[in-house]
Chain A
Amino acid sequence: MLEKYGVKVLGTPVRGIQLTEDRDLFKKTMIGCDVPVPRSFAAYSFDEAKEATDELGFPVIIRVAYTLGGKGGGVARNLQELSQIVERGLNSSLAHQVLVEEYLGGWKQIEYEIMRDRDDNSVIICNMENMLGMRVHTGDNIVVAPSQTLTNAEYHLLRTASLRAARTCGIVGECNIQFALHPGSERYAAIEINARLSRSSALASKATGYPLAYVAAKLALGYHLTELKNRVSGITTALFEPSLDYLVVKMPRWDTVKFDGASRIIGTSMKSIGEVMAVGRGFEEAIQKAARMANPQHDGVVRRGSPHDLSTALGRLERPSDTIAFDLAEALRAGAREEEVAEKSEVDPWFVSKYKNVVDFHAFLESLPPGAPPNREVLARAKKLGFSDRQIGDLLGIGEDRVREARVRLGVTPVTKVIDTLAAEWPSRTNYLYQTFDAAVDEAPPTSARKVIVLGAGPYRIGSSVEFDWGTMNMAWALKGLGYEVIVVNCNPETVSTDFDMSDRLYFEELTVERLLAIYDKEKPEGMVLCVGGQTPNDLAESLEKRGVTILGTSSQSIETAEDRSKFSALLDRLGIPQPTWGSFRSPAEAAKFCSRVGYPVIVRPSHVLSGSAMRVIWDSSELETYITKAAMVNPEYPVVVSEFIEGAREVEVDAVSDGKSTVIGAIMEHVQDAGIHSGDAIMSIPTVTVSKAAKEKIRVYTRSIARELKARGPLNIQFLVRGASVYVIECNLRASRSLPYVCKATGVNLIDVVAPAVEGGSLRRTADVEEPKRFAVKAPMFSFLQMDGADPKLGVEMRSTGEVACFGDTFAEALSQAFLATGHRIPAKGDVGILLLEPWQDASGVKPLLSRFRGAGIEVLELDERALDERMAEVMGLISGGKVSFVLSFNANTNVDSEAFHKVRRKAVDLQVQVLSTKEEAEALLLCVGK
């Protein structure tokens, strides 16, 4: 296509992409340049895959050609798994090709990042070792840079092979190559090359400080490595290989628990959604930091409480799940020998011995007399091994604060070190920093400038993604513009906010009270900005303020008022703003009484759980009983919160900014789905489509009065229910919302810029609300159900999407069509076939008009209730497998009863990338797009 339109490709030529992406060509190319590869066969059908497996013997690994993140691949240990994975793989491959390969599970997985210019000047920017070896996809692996267990001979054997491979494939710019290295010899095999900047490249860039993308772009334009400067030192050249005098640990962030039915086992297909990177001078320090960064509820790699029994703990190592980083420590705690752990987990004994150091010291801390902080020597050792104050405080029963006081008094404080690409060999001008307890000299004394600290959002996860990075960076830039030195703290290597040259100072660090106080005490800024990094920094507001940190923007009391259901509800009552009826109950009987008064359905959630997690829509009293009693959700300590569910209401949101006096409304957004779908999963439109002028006016008035009452100084988001002219407030967040970048991009007004002066105590940069745009901007969610084995693709009050798009159009339907297409949906056309799964409680007559509209457009919809499906299961599965079905309608959003047969159909559809729509409104929206 590029050729047809005369488009010139810069950087690696198309041929290079073919050589590296086409599995068969890749193999031939590697053998041609004397780089060994695993034995493998390309297959275009199940029969071919079967033949290959007969040759190789089980287990085999199925890799999918032309795909991302190992999408659809997997390890097959028997014929059934083989057939399942091959079918899925062939369907997700753009070239309808899979590779059946010998399984090198126990080998080390080593990666190299290569930079090469058009005249063959080549360097390795970084190598990385995957702690979980070849068993686990690098995206789901715990990755350490540089490699820890390779000798000079092995390191350079693979380095030389990397360069040979890159040369043969004609790489210009950057590429990543993965090797399997035998743990008992120098045998190795090249697994794959990514002839582009990959997730690993981003990590390598952050791990070393070498700006890979920048240099790769220059090389694509024809520059030579010899001509480019190292931007970190400013004097040395880009033609060099970074030398690290620290190590980094990347740990993935999974959210598999958020998916009903999803398997938590990790393997060759990537399931993680985000990642963190921890920097340290020792492995123990780095991995413990990483464990906290990825999972703020954990204190380190040792879990709280007593360990499982030995056989359970060891069993967990054989089939690693998303808790493997903790399971390794647990097995050692349960008494497993190091060799056993290494053998079962296939993790190199070197890593296991480091885990052992942590576990042993944890036991030592447990054995100390409780009630008093330990002495200096013990504290220093604990901190070197990466234990947090909170963990030490818990183990000694004295709490985090007393540990910190003792530590500071005894002079056990972290020092700041610089990441400079060259191990201090040359002076550097960078302000790319981390903190460690494993060093003596602080290299980055604070400046005397007026400064602020802006907190980033931590790892990408469900509900917190790049939108908060946008917020962090825009706030950083705006405050820089106001004359501040801006210090950013974040730990997510995938973000712009962790680019070392974006802020005045970057601390690649934990977003914990302990670390933030250390940075705050050292830098002595005018304050900290917490309102742009999403829920993670927001949650820290109270703890930080209590310990003397000046919070810039909305006060922590106001945040607390907005987040505490009772306080916020009282505030709404005071302002005369309607809200759905709700109550908090300590016994199932009380809850049931309330429900029969307001009428079902209701929304139920445990009060101690924040946000949408564990929330449910409950449709009748028996469900209520099951949910509350069986899930043991209600007890005197944690009451359960039940709110009225206003059926058929539209959900509408506002993003606004305020300085406490005046408030500027950025946009009013309308959700396509009825209320009950998490706002992160809803399709939404700016401007609104059905909301009346009167309702919108109410929304504006309510927004202003809430912002004034809460003395908001910063961005805020309010969610409303609208039914006719009635407007109810359901929630208010006093921070930048997930939708803020969408609002700013839809309207062309950067609200962060508008509000920045207010955050530091001044007034908004404008006073008028942003005008409603004439064209439509539709935001739609992107889901990753395919990667989550077994997960049910349904929507509800808990968020499940992992990404989003926004598309523009002159009409709502046009913008909507674009958004559907951009998220991988297909707009059905005449002659297509869909399936409707009719739930037993669903009134068949209710969907009649919808179906007749589909039929009117020439689209046949197969209507199946549970019984009909049972009879025709084989036929239906065949239709889906045969690619005959273009969509499945299964309006099960927020339902708790489930038919296994329906689940099977939905899952099949997901595996074969057939869209599944779980609300009627989405189906109607899709219809709007038909024929456009």
Chain B
Amino acid sequence: MLAAKRDALLLLEDGSTFFGQGFGAEADSVGEVVFNTGMVGYLESMTDPSYAGQILTFTYPLIGNYGVPPYSARDKFDLPRFFESDSIKVRGIVVQEACDSPSHWASERPLWKWMESEGIPGIQGVDTRALVSKLREAGVMMGIIACGHDAKDRGKLAELLAKASSYSSQNLVKGVSVPGPVVHGGEGPKIVVLDCGTKLGIVRNLLRRGFQVVRLPYDSSYSAVMQHDPAGVVVCNGPGDPQLLADTAKCVGSLIDGEVPVLGICLGEQLVGMSQGAETFKLKYGHRGQNKPCVDLATGRGYVTSQNHGYAISETTLKGTDLRQWFANADDNTIEGVLHASRPCMAVQFHPEATPGPYDTLFVFDRFIEMTRKARPLRGEEIRSVKA
């Protein structure tokens, strides 16, 4: 009845400790501790490459209720139907309660088994609300989940944590980008995704609209991109500090100068900003959730968006560039989207592809299609606009 549960702990950079029970892999794991306020979508979040290098706390207390489906379940584009990439990308998760007996027609195994098979530890039984309040007040920080045999040795854990390199100093994109070109879809005009760790949701949305998608490594040169003669380029989401990606930003700048239609999403938006001379800064505790209000400044219309970012374009540095603010976050007024004054370039900080989250801003992809059409008459191909 009181089955022996593995003791585990979460130690934060500032010394605070949260005790709980381990599940998933019996391992220790270091990462930046962040939180997401979505109430559904753990499969999508945990496989979102933007979480590389991070330990993710779910504010909703019951996680794993609908289990884990197999990767082999594919959608019509032959992408894994229920995931945003082909493996777990978070370094670990922190939850109030992980569900051992899930119930869903698509599920093949419980959360802990999935995590165990991919070597990812989790800790449960943590007062996640208390943890979130701490991160809100003190800002996100590095932490270590100790789920392995040394869970009791705090000194050793502190040492491990101190030795670990900070989140902002790591080039995490390298680990989640593609090694070489990957092509999805057959016919149709080509969209190049400059892959900083793209969520499959972005790829799916482009495929649904009749494009062929070519994912290229994040450090591809301008000419390497242009070799594919793209109808447009999507600079996608990804983990880490954009400052480490100056070369990618330079490439984006060249694409914009070359009047190639560009859509930036999340990290991609920050890179678009940097390419035009704006600067980025780190938010105290980021925006991670599915309930983030963004207002289109031109129309006053508000949208509920899905977000996952720790950095943003600084508003003051936007002035003097050719970028105009498009969306503002209605809660804290940070920049949530920009439009180029004269070039076919748009970028959003939120995730129009959702997954997880609300589908209210899918129109961003439709606007991008229009942009590609206007920029270059398509050679006879018809872009099918497919409703998501």
Residues of A within 8 A of B301 (CB): 119-121, 226
Q: In the complex, what's the smallest C-beta–C-beta distance from A541 to chain B, in angstroms?
A: 35
Residue of B44, B130, B354 with highest tally of chain A CB at under 10 A: B130
**Using Cβ atoms and an 8 Å threshold, which residues of chain B touch A226?**
293, 295, 300-302, 330
Given the complex of chains A and B, what is the CA–CA distance between A226 and B357 in angstroms?
Answer: 20
Q: Is B302 a contact partner of A423 (Cβ separation < 8 A)?
A: no
Of B97-105, B252-260, B310-318, the segment with at least 4 beta carbons within 8 Å of chain A is B97-105
A443: interface (CB < 8 Å): yes
Known contacts: A149-B104, A150-B66, A426-B136. The answer to whether A245 contacts B289 by CB under 8 A is: no
Which residue from chain B places its CB closest to the CB of A236 in the assembled complex?
A: B331
Interface pair A423/B37, CB less than 8 Å apart = yes
Residues of chain A within 8 A of B104, CB atoms compared: 149, 151
Q: Assess the A283–B132 pair: CB atoms within 8 A.
A: no
User: Is B295 a contact of A381 with CB atoms below 8 Å?
Assistant: no
Q: In the complex, are the beta carbons of B132 and A424 less than 8 A apart? A: yes
A242–B300 Cα gap in the complex (Å)? Answer: 21
In the assembled complex, which residues on chain B have CB atoms less than 8 Å from the CB atom of A439? 96, 127, 129-130
In the complex, chain A residues whose CB is within 8 Å of the CB of B372: none
CB A131 to nearest CB in B, in angstroms, measures 12
Query: Would B291 and A242 count as touching, CB distance under 8 A?
Result: yes
Whether A151 and B130, one on each chain, are in contact in the complex, defined by CB atoms closer than 8 angstroms, is no
Q: Does B331 contact A243, Cβ atoms closer than 8 Å?
A: no
Nearest chain B CB to A823's CB is how many angstroms away? 43
B118 at the interface (CB under 8 A from A): no
A156-164, A675-683, A787-795: which one contacts chain B? Answer: A156-164
Flag whether B133 is at the interface (Cβ < 8 A).
yes
Choose among A360, A440, A443 the residue that contacts B1 (Cβ–Cβ < 8 A). A360
Please, what's the 1-or-0 string for A236-248, where 1 marks a CB less than 8 Å from any CB in chain B?
Answer: 1101111111110
Residue-wise interface mask of B (34-46) relative to A, using a CB-CB cutoff of 8 A (1 in contact, 0 not): 0101111101100
Contacts of A440 in B (CB 8 A): 127, 130
Report if B359 contacts A (CB, 8 A): yes
Q: A160 with B129: in contact, given A152-B43, A240-B292, A245-B61 (CB under 8 Å)?
A: no
Q: Which of A219-260 contact B (CB under 8 A)?
A: 224-226, 235-237, 239-247
Task: Determine how close the nearest CB of chain A comes to the CB of B372; give it in whole angstroms.
Answer: 25
Which chain B residue has the least Cβ–Cβ distance from A123?
A: B304
B129 and A152 contacting across the interface, CB-CB below 8 Å = no
Q: Report the minimum CB–CB distance from B26 to chain A (whole Å).
A: 22
Known: A152-B356, A237-B293, A241-B290. A349 touches B103 (CB 8 A): yes
- A156-B357, A224-B300 known; A422+B101 contact, CB < 8 A: no
A875 at the interface (CB under 8 A from B): no
A160 touches B359 (CB 8 A): yes
A58 sits at the interface (CB 8 A): no
Q: Distance in Å from the Cβ of B81 to the closest Cβ of chain A?
A: 9
A349 to chain B, nearest CB (A): 4
State A314–B35 Cα separation when bound (angstroms): 43
Q: Across the interface, do A152 and B40 meet the contact criterion of CB distance under 8 Å?
A: yes
Chain A residues near B39 (CB-CB < 8 A)? 146, 155, 243-244
Contacts of A151 in B (CB 8 A): 40, 43, 66, 82, 104, 106
Given contacts A151-B104, A159-B358, A241-B291, contact A425 B136 (CB under 8 A): yes
Does A148 reach chain B (CB closer than 8 Å)? yes
Cβ-based interface call for B248 (8 A): no
Q: Decide: A240 and B331 in contact? CB cutoff 8 A.
A: yes
Number of B residues near A (Cβ < 8 Å) is 53
Q: Are A282 and B302 in contact (CB under 8 A)?
A: no
Q: A241, B304: Cβ atoms under 8 Å?
A: yes
A234 vs chain B, min Cβ distance (A): 12
Cα–Cα, bound, A241→B302 (Å): 12
* A364 contact set on B, CB distance < 8 A: 1
* CB–CB A156/B291 < 8 A: no
| Contact (Cβ within 8 A) A245 B60 | yes
Q: Is the CB of A247 within 8 A of B62?
A: yes
Q: Check: A353 CB closer than 8 A to any chain B CB.
A: yes
Q: How far is the CA of A801 from the CA of B289 in the complex (A)?
A: 47
Q: Mark B52-65, 1 if CB is under 8 A from A, else 0.
A: 00000001111001
Which residues of chain B have C-beta atoms less than 8 A from A348's C-beta? 103
B289 pairs with A425, CB closer than 8 A: yes
| Neighbour of B103 across the interface among A156, A239, A353, CB < 8 A | A353
A245 and B168 CA atoms in complex are apart in Å by 29
- Nearest Cβ in chain A — how far from B51, in angstroms? 15
Residues in A whose Cβ lies below 8 Å from that of B357: 152, 156
Interface assignment of B2: CB less than 8 Å from any CB of chain A: yes
Cβ A281 vs Cβ B96 within 8 A: yes
Bound state CA distance, A614 and B179, in angstroms? 79
B302 and A239 contacting across the interface, CB-CB below 8 Å: yes
Q: Quick check: is A898 within 8 A (CB to CB) of the other chain?
A: no
Hey, which chain A residues are within 8 Å of B360, CB to CB? 160, 163
Q: Does A601 contact B (CB under 8 A)?
A: no
Mask of A161-200 contacts with B, CB within 8 angstroms, 1/0 = 0010000000000000000000111000000000000000
Which chain B residues in 97-121 approach chain A with CB under 8 Å?
97, 99, 101-106
* Distance between Cα atoms of A154 and B66 in the complex (Å): 11
From A149, A225, A378, A425, give the contact of B37 (CB < 8 A): A425
- B1-60 CB contacts (< 8 Å) to partner A: 1-2, 35, 37-41, 43-44, 59-60
Are B37 and A422 within 8 A (Cβ)?
yes
Cβ distance B67 to chain A, nearest Cβ, rounded Å: 9
Contact for B105 among A184, A237, A245, A417, CB less than 8 A: A184
Residue among B2, B61, B136, B292 with max Cβ neighbours from chain A (10 Å): B61
- B residues less than 8 Å from A185 (CB atoms): 105
A526 at the interface (CB under 8 A from B): no
Q: Which of A147, A246, A443 contacts B133 (CB 8 A)?
A: A443
Cβ–Cβ < 8 Å partners of A246 in chain B: 61
Q: What's the nearest-Cβ distance from chain A to residue B113, in Å?
A: 16
Instruction: Give per-residue flags for A374-385: 1 if the beta carbon is below 8 A from chain B beta carbons, else 0.
Output: 000110010000
User: Which residues on B sit within 8 Å (CB–CB) of A150?
Assistant: 40, 66
Is the C-beta of A44 less than 8 angstroms from some C-beta in chain B?
A: no
Instruction: Give CA–CA (A184, B66) in the complex, Å.
Output: 12
Q: Say yes or no: is B128 at the interface (Cβ < 8 Å to chain A).
A: yes
Told that A235-B331, A349-B103, A381-B2 touch, could you supply 6 new A-B pairs with CB distance under 8 A? Answer: A239-B293, A239-B295, A242-B291, A243-B37, A424-B129, A425-B289
Sampled A-B contacts (5; CB under 8 Å) = A124-B304, A156-B357, A185-B105, A243-B39, A443-B133
Which 6 residue pairs are nearest across A and B when measured between Cβ atoms? A152-B41, A441-B130, A423-B59, A241-B291, A350-B103, A440-B127
Which positions in A face B, CB cutoff 8 Å?
119-121, 123-124, 146-153, 155-156, 159-160, 163, 183-185, 224-226, 235-237, 239-247, 281-283, 348-350, 353, 360-361, 364, 377-378, 381, 417, 422-427, 438-441, 443
